[in-house]
A and B are shown apart, each in its own frame.
Chain A
Amino acid sequence: MKMSNKNFDVIIVGAGGVGLAAAMYSARLGLKTLVLGASHGSELPVGGVITTTNIVENYPGFIKLTGQELAKKIEEHAKSYKLAIIKEKKVVNIKKEKNCFYVQTESSKYKTLTIIFATGTKWKKLDVPGSKEYENKGVNYCALCDGPLFKNKIVSLVGGSDSAAKDALVLAEYAKKVYIIYRGEKIHPELVNMERIKKNKKIEIINNTNILEIKGDKFVKEIILDKHYRGNKKLKVDAVFVAIGHVALSDLAKKIGVKLNEKGEIIINHKDASTNVQGVFAAGDVTDKPFKQLITGVADGCTASYSAYEYITKNKVVSC
């Protein structure tokens, strides 16, 4: 394991939109900044989860653009500062010794005064018989990535959130029929997306219903519901897309003593993005902030950068 000869003021773990925005701000404040991330288990490249969103309409300055376009713009902005280095490397371990953190990837080890966790989340997996067996054989998690493979097919989408609704709308661009299957009384997307769902004749919502099992041969062929739908518990589908929420990627933070809530999210001070561990900050979907959007995460990322800057300058932590 080679020890990098460069010491950093801040290492940002996670290279999604939030991590990149934090990098931009840290570098702007004059901090030697390193971003490490292959997004840490969310299994997405630099840019993170926003790259799987088709259309973003709630980011100021851009009325409408794709998630990939937005991620690219944030990445370019971060890279415009020479003090920000971005490496697509997964962090495998972090250790704290006195005022210093040692951050390890598979090939290198780095030293830093502060850490910002922007590790985000990964998709929550559907756990029913057949869901693992048919993963990527009809059970899919990224509607934007794989939806076009189901042109003129019948697909189902599990979930009731705004993300689920947006996925259903993407799928309806290709499939001939989209069933939204939701365990609760009523799906709860943002109003604008609810209206789009209502207007889309390809989409049908099945509320108060769970999938009990996924069956097929080489690929998914049908799902078994826990309630009758039009007189039958069996529903013929070619795919089951899953949008049932996310799991916080906080294992690395936990390793160095950062406190998590019952959902595994990093508990931060909502004023300054600090955690219970000195010199450690967090922002974005991995934290316990309830409203999880790129716009809010980016703001917290900048706050975390400023707090890291204040921590270094006020405490005169100059080396370790």
Chain B
Amino acid sequence: MNTMKWLLKREFWEHKGGFFWAPIVVSAIMAIITAGSVAIGVTKGSEANIRINGQVVTKLADQFSGEEKAAAVAQFANGYMASGVPLLFVLSFTIFFYCLNALYDERKDRSVLFWKSLPVTDGATVLSKIAMALGLAPLMALLFGTILALLIVVFISLGAAAMGVNIFGGVLSSAALYLAPLQIAAMLPIYALWALPTVGWLLMVGAWARSKPLLWAVGTPLLAVGLIAWFNKMLAFGWDIDWLWKYIVGRGLLSVTPGSWFAYSPEDLEMVGRMKQVAMGPLLAQTWQQVTTPNLWIGALVGAAMIYAAIRLRRWKDER
């Protein structure tokens, strides 16, 4: 019995809108906008510039040497995936609300009584939702993002060609073009571990709350830390409130945002800030640096504990 396969299919059937249609629609819109602006740029003639990754491309033919052109093309190939960033935002939202509702919706419409009438363990069920949130969903987003980014590369290259600059050869022969999606994929395991505290918290609240899970999930940490902060101020305790915001609220609610780990070390923040163009290599390296931090592992452990609590709640909570 390949139960996990069917559990994953079930998650997909239920959430086709968020995991499939939303990214496709966003991608389509972005592709159309890009194609449109390239077309407009081309028709405007030589007054228009095409900027890719901070580098103006149309002036290449006239003003830059072959070497500099090659470097610009390389940067283009390196950073083209950045055009997929809007999809990352879509993904963050989708995963956040997916986890919040994963164990709540089935309680609200009582369909949990149907699912529990079948020989599928609560553990397997919860695990399938985590696998969807941190495994399949990001992979799908990566797939859509890659296709979108490649489409944009094609549109822009076509536009450049229409203006007399041929970058096709340079871009297509650049190794970075093919590496970039793989580099992002290599970041996914860290993303999964990093996101565990938020995923665990949301699943747990969804398994517990009788109603308004969003209020409980977001309100509780905000209120708690807010109250402590207020007391701290009033009674001048001198506690490190920033730490609470960063680790309780930040890790608890925002860990599903890809890249949020960069915000936790000043060097990383600096590095990202200095980047005028997005380069996957250093990002990937810095991401895997997280493996050496206690932040990642303690967060993962806390997340795992909350996931366990969520499984127990699903097993034993009596719904009226």
The reply to whether chain A is a binding partner of chain B is no
A-contacting residues of B (Cβ < 8 Å)?
none
